[in-house]
Chains A and B, each alone.
Chain A
Amino acid sequence: MHIVADSDRQIVEKVRSGNSRTYALLVDRHKERAMTLALRLLGSKEEAEELVQDAFLRAYKNLDTFRGDAKFSTWLYRILYNLCMTKVTRRKGKMEHLEEEDRMTKTMLVDDEEISIQERIEHEEITKLVATEIESLPEKLKTVILLFYVQDMSYDEMSAVMNIPVGSVKTYLHRGRNMLRQRVLSQLKGEVSLT
């Protein structure tokens, strides 16, 4: 027998009609991707897990306000993103922010010098490098990269999650990729010059 899983919207309807235990299905379905976003934004597994729980709880409490014109996941990520940003903003001191800006400026000045690195690029190595470099991106650039590549979201969905225009999403994505590419290439260039 072929069993078709309920869509998010169907589960939401069931929860709204009083079957609150069905909400566990939504939690199971989205917890790991939500955790990926939160962990990358916050850096601490404990904090990230607590915040993801908070996001699920808030989503549940406000489920009657979920209009259904967007995906449940988009709505959930928006709540989670707001929680993460509040946390990050509180945590970040002004000095740290200035250091970040300084680092960004320096990175932007790195030339797009072409390096003969073909032989050195191994998938695992570059994946590790990319994962490390994502951590150091500014929050907004990091968020769009994660929403696009990990959550597989469209520009419209990312715009809804971050509450910014689609044009800004595209700009952030462009800047994020450029910055990431420059950082990864400059790391590889450093490794090449060491050998």
Chain B
Amino acid sequence: MNGHCSPSEIQDYVTGVLSPADRHRCEEHFARCRSCRSTLHAVTRIDLALRSIPVERVSPNFTQNVMNRISRELNAPLAFKVLEKLAHLFALFIVLAMLLTIVVVTGVVDVQQIGEGQSVVEQFLSGQASAVSGAIAGFSSWLAEYAPFAFGSGSLGITGAILTVVTLLALLDRFLSRRLIH
């Protein structure tokens, strides 16, 4: 080892994160080595230059523009806000629907089992529709049996249940949005 301070050590010396022992060793070396002093000088000047990088100016009406955009957001129609909140969820549904369609069309699922005479897509869609209506019917009968006080019965109960599901979906979407932001 030639005894020179490494450039990293010199950088740490300038930043002030070198251990006291190494700091002392470097200082002794700087006193007798012109080359390391030269590097020290350069690193110090670069460090100073970095600390004096000017902050950038923004346009004069920047803050007003931001506040105008916020104001527009606040005054946006409720329907738009709801749609915006559910945007991620809609996108997720579309992607899932596409994936399911691809799975069915490419034959990963045995089409013969679904039945012949109708197109695969029709079968798929009708299957989905009956699954959804079955689920709603099941959910509604479950409500009628177990939660009549919460939602009432008949159409009122179903409306209440749908509203609950939508709220839950909105909350899920809100949660996902936060995860994306952070």
Contacts and interface: CB of A to CB of B under 8 A. Distances in A.
Interface of A: 20-21, 23-24, 27-28, 31-33, 35-36, 39, 45, 48-49, 52-53, 56-58, 60-62, 65, 78-79, 112, 114-118, 121, 123, 126-127, 129-131, 134, 145-146, 149-150, 174, 177-178, 180-181, 184-185, 188
Contacts of B39: 112, 114
B49 A127 contact: yes
A134 B56 CA distance: 15
A118 B54 CA distance: 24
Contacts of B66: 24, 27, 53, 56-57
B182 A53 contact: no
A178 B49 CA distance: 15
A131 B53 CA distance: 7
B70 A126 contact: no
B168 interface: no
Nearest to B178: A65
A121 B41 contact: yes
B63 A31 contact: yes
Given A56-B66, A115-B38, A126-B46, A36 B55 contact: yes
25 contacts: A23-B67, A23-B70, A27-B62, A27-B66, A31-B63, A32-B55, A45-B56, A48-B56, A57-B66, A62-B178, A79-B181, A114-B38, A114-B39, A115-B38, A116-B38, A123-B45, A127-B52, A130-B49, A134-B53, A149-B53, A150-B55, A174-B11, A180-B46, A181-B11, A188-B42
Nearest to A62: B181
Interface in B1-55: 7-8, 11, 34-36, 38-39, 41-43, 45-46, 48-55
Contacts of A114: 35-36, 38-39
Contact of B67 (A21, A45, A146, A188): A21
A111 to B, nearest CB: 10
A35 B56 contact: yes
Given A39-B56, A150-B55, A145 B50 contact: yes
B133 interface: no
Contacts of B46: 126, 130, 177, 180-181, 184
Given A57-B66, A62-B178, A78-B182, 17 more contacts: A20-B70, A23-B70, A24-B66, A45-B56, A49-B59, A52-B62, A53-B62, A53-B65, A53-B66, A53-B69, A131-B49, A149-B50, A150-B55, A177-B46, A178-B11, A181-B43, A181-B46
A174 B8 contact: yes
Contacts of A115: 38
A195 to B, nearest CB: 17
Contacts, number: 116
Contacts of A184: 42, 46
Nearest to A163: B182
Contacts of A145: 50
A121 B58 contact: no
Contact of A49 (B41, B49, B53, B62): B62
A60 B69 CA distance: 11
B83 to A, nearest CB: 15
Nearest to A185: B42
Contacts of A131: 49, 53
Nearest to A58: B181
B110 interface: no
